[in-house]
Structure 1
């Protein structure tokens, strides 16, 4: 009798365990693989699968910007695997990948090669393999999905419905505005810096428009944003996705906003820092949604867009006089004029009798040019969120540059006003030096206006 009772209990336990939903899977097994890309090269990847999985849904993780390394992708892959979904993380193509050269179409081909590799695995159901894209992957993964019927679904996190240049400008503005910075340093210097990168061909895919791609996607879509995202405008992007899908008549989508989450779905205190792990509910949301397709994708669901400090703005193309060629010509012209003025001062007969205004003008222009270049480089290369003490909403270095620019304008005015007195009876060489100085000073005033030094 006892033996029969034990068998009944054991059978009951086995049936109960077998009937547990896949979302409760705890043990995962990573397996390293290699697979060919469309261009004939080979890349490596790691498959994260629930132990003993067969016929499960699968998902390919598509990277954000950079080299695609980092523990975050492993966390996401493990979250999928614990939900009973086989995840493939593959090595991102980094050869030839720079800020000045990146090809979303080529990266999309790589993602589709990874989909083909995962579909061939015994752990997965080839009819249920989809894509997950983070940040830059939010441009690449939708493009891949729009090109292939073999992609069963699409998930994005921190994706944009705007062009990369506009997104980067919004991110820069957000960093400064959050720190309390106001005025031309944000509205002019940072914005024109990005436009110059675009004009110079140093910002690849800057004008990429994701909307036509979103309108072509027929697969179920789960798009997620953190309400504290400081890299992608989460509210604007959610609205952009929803409008694109509505125009296309799409009904199988879910747009969600995660509370207290940053750009990649990690917990955060202010949107800039990253606390360990994934924000509560993120992994469960994706797992339940994938395991429940198609029912979980219809009817369409859209959360309230996250609040933003300001909306993203499109970047207007540079006019002819704003192009990098013209700006560099002006810059080098100023440098040559100022260098010519300084060098010819060694000739005694070429020196100007009224030297103080000229010296003030030369010094303020030289310091203004050098300081602006340093400040612009800092803005475009740093991700700092604190900029030191502020005065009138300006950082102290920027305020100093604005004062230098104002001093240069005053000095130029004095030099021009006293031209008749200064040039009376002087040599041709002195007149040439004066002309060089005035040309350099006038060029600087135009340059300072463009870069915001003379704007509020």
Structure 2
């Protein structure tokens, strides 16, 4: 969510340690129904996790995940595979895999948590009472019926990719036609509400903008929720074609002003918006929410450094991490052959003490098509080609996409192409999700009750209102 996939989606800053090995024993599948609790170690902080498993009548397991410290409860586990003493659980939000083995007494699962190209050991122990209720999470901004607008679940085609995308459209009262907005999520598999830690920021944003007279379309990423398509080979280029399909579908609706259909992208969604704005049939306007405008490698190095510093890493460790990250990123960029790149990255990681199996796993995650495209991202020739009005916003406490340098790049780059209609604004005290934050660290996201700062909503709504009246 959120360039969350750049370093462990949803803020679990995983340390590079631990790896499961060995063969599954030929034993009966264990009975896993119940509650399992463990703790991840991340940047010197323990992150408790609780897994709730339930066996269905057909023998399948279903389950959910809680992260109480982050106030995230009921995160769905997309699939659970049990073979002999082996269990693999896959989540889509966050995009993570928990793979482990069950002890002979059935009371413990020794596992690794794999996410964002990183892994960490995780031991889950069976708890005494199954099905315990998760504490209520306060999300006071969550829209509640009845609504003064119409909401409808819809599907539309990306014909070029042969997929169908599913989403929700909200339409103001009255006959219209109305100006319209497409919301594009950040990195990693995201649903239409961009759900994260019990927050649904896109639902809050859609509610606010529809109340202000805009038709709003938000949709599940391809391969997520009710949208079809393959996530395994997904890159931002695919995201652009999905966003273009959404824009085209909206323009054809009789209740939409075809010439006033724009795009709001969050994090990687803003990168997708930038690419869409430089191609045929661009959006009528573009709003970047914490969107990157620096080169991919520069952005990644800065992100890792900011998060490490905020987490309290000493200066010497920050410097060592920066040097290693730069070496790894440049190696990947300069070595197009994946096998060769993985061998070189594996060597760099084993030289700092990582075991070979773990290093190979890390290297594979860092050389996916998605990651390669991100590292190679160069916005400099793109920004001057944007001719539509642009609003670029960033929070002063954003540790994932630093507001200062990225906002400056947005403004300078768009203006360089002769487009004066660009507004770049840093919003004080807000994090990457545009919540009012104390630290900006990702483990704070779920603890905050606020989903989207009202001040940020007002800036977006006021800017849009001014521009659709032109």
C-alpha contact (below 8 Å) 1:61/1:133 kept by paired residues: yes
Structure 1 residues 37-71: Cα deviation after superposition (integer angstroms, max 9, x where no partner)? 03221111110222335211101011100112211
Pairing partner for 2:372 from 165, 181, 204: 204
Equivalent residue number for residue 285 of structure 1: 459
Does residue 254 (structure 1) correspond to residue 423 (structure 2)? The answer is: yes
Offset, 1:244: 0.8
Pairing partner for 2:437 from 254, 261, 268: 268
Gaps of 5+ in 1: 1-25, 297-456
Residues in 1 aligned to 2:163 and 2:385: alpha-carbon distance in whole angstroms: 29
Equivalent residue number for residue 280 of structure 2: 148
Equivalent residue number for residue 97 of structure 1: 231
What secondary structure does 2:182 align onto?
A: strand
Residues in 1 aligned to 2:384 and 2:209: alpha-carbon distance in whole angstroms: 27
Structure 1 residues 342-368: Cα deviation after superposition (integer angstroms, max 9, x where no partner)? xxxxxxxxxxxxxxxxxxxxxxxxxxx
Offset, 1:211: 2.1
Q: Which has the higher strand share?
A: 2
Offset, 1:283: 1.6
Q: What's the TM-score once normalised by structure 1's chain length?
A: 0.56
C-alpha contact (below 8 Å) 1:220/1:294 kept by paired residues: no
**For structure 1, which segment, 130-139 or 259-268, has the greater mean C-alpha deviation from structure 2 after superposition?**
259-268
Structure 1 residues 56-115: Cα deviation after superposition (integer angstroms, max 9, x where no partner)? 1101011100112211211111121121111100121245435xx542222111101000
C-alpha contact (below 8 Å) 2:186/2:268 kept by paired residues: yes
Residues in 2 aligned to 1:53 and 1:166: alpha-carbon distance in whole angstroms: 48
Residues in 2 aligned to 1:228 and 1:189: alpha-carbon distance in whole angstroms: 22
RMSD: 2.2
With over 3 angstroms needed to count, the CA separation of the structure-2 counterparts of 1:257 and 1:57, relative to structure 1, is: same
Equivalent residue number for residue 59 of structure 1: 181
Equivalent residue number for residue 265 of structure 2: 133
What secondary structure does 2:162 align onto?
A: coil
Does residue 36 (structure 1) correspond to residue 157 (structure 2)? The answer is: yes
Residues in 2 aligned to 1:189 and 1:150: alpha-carbon distance in whole angstroms: 39
Equivalent residue number for residue 412 of structure 2: 243
With over 3 angstroms needed to count, the CA separation of the structure-2 counterparts of 1:72 and 1:191, relative to structure 1, is: farther
Structure 1 residues 233-262: Cα deviation after superposition (integer angstroms, max 9, x where no partner)? 110011111221232121111111212211
Does residue 233 (structure 1) correspond to residue 402 (structure 2)? The answer is: yes
Gaps of 5+ in 2: 1-146, 224-228, 333-340, 342-366
Q: Which has the higher helix share?
A: 1
With over 3 angstroms needed to count, the CA separation of the structure-2 counterparts of 1:53 and 1:187, relative to structure 1, is: farther
Residues in 2 aligned to 1:121 and 1:46: alpha-carbon distance in whole angstroms: 14
Equivalent residue number for residue 166 of structure 1: 298
Residues in 1 aligned to 2:295 and 2:231: alpha-carbon distance in whole angstroms: 19
Instruction: Please show how residues 4-23 of structure 1 align to structure 2 within 5 Å.
Output: none
**For structure 1, which segment, 184-193 or 241-250, has the greater mean C-alpha deviation from structure 2 after superposition?**
184-193
Equivalent residue number for residue 214 of structure 2: 85
With over 3 angstroms needed to count, the CA separation of the structure-2 counterparts of 1:181 and 1:288, relative to structure 1, is: same
Does residue 121 (structure 1) correspond to residue 250 (structure 2)? The answer is: no
With over 3 angstroms needed to count, the CA separation of the structure-2 counterparts of 1:53 and 1:154, relative to structure 1, is: farther
User: Larger C-alpha radius of gyration, 1 or 2?
Assistant: 1
Pairing partner for 2:238 from 106, 110, 114: 106
Offset, 1:294: 6.1
With over 3 angstroms needed to count, the CA separation of the structure-2 counterparts of 1:28 and 1:260, relative to structure 1, is: farther
C-alpha contact (below 8 Å) 2:407/2:424 kept by paired residues: yes
Residues in 2 aligned to 1:59 and 1:53: alpha-carbon distance in whole angstroms: 17
Residues in 1 aligned to 2:399 and 2:321: alpha-carbon distance in whole angstroms: 20
Equivalent residue number for residue 176 of structure 1: 308
**For structure 1, which segment, 75-84 or 145-154, has the greater mean C-alpha deviation from structure 2 after superposition?**
145-154
Structure 1 residues 270-312: Cα deviation after superposition (integer angstroms, max 9, x where no partner)? 212233231122222222211221678xxxxxxxxxxxxxxxx
Residues in 2 aligned to 1:143 and 1:150: alpha-carbon distance in whole angstroms: 9
Offset, 1:133: 0.6
C-alpha contact (below 8 Å) 1:164/1:207 kept by paired residues: yes
Residues in 1 aligned to 2:164 and 2:273: alpha-carbon distance in whole angstroms: 20
With over 3 angstroms needed to count, the CA separation of the structure-2 counterparts of 1:249 and 1:188, relative to structure 1, is: same
What secondary structure does 2:242 align onto?
A: helix
Residues in 1 aligned to 2:222 and 2:327: alpha-carbon distance in whole angstroms: 27
Does residue 46 (structure 1) correspond to residue 180 (structure 2)? The answer is: no
Residues in 1 aligned to 2:460 and 2:437: alpha-carbon distance in whole angstroms: 20
Offset, 1:191: 4.4
Size of the alignment, in residue pairs? 270
Equivalent residue number for residue 383 of structure 1: none
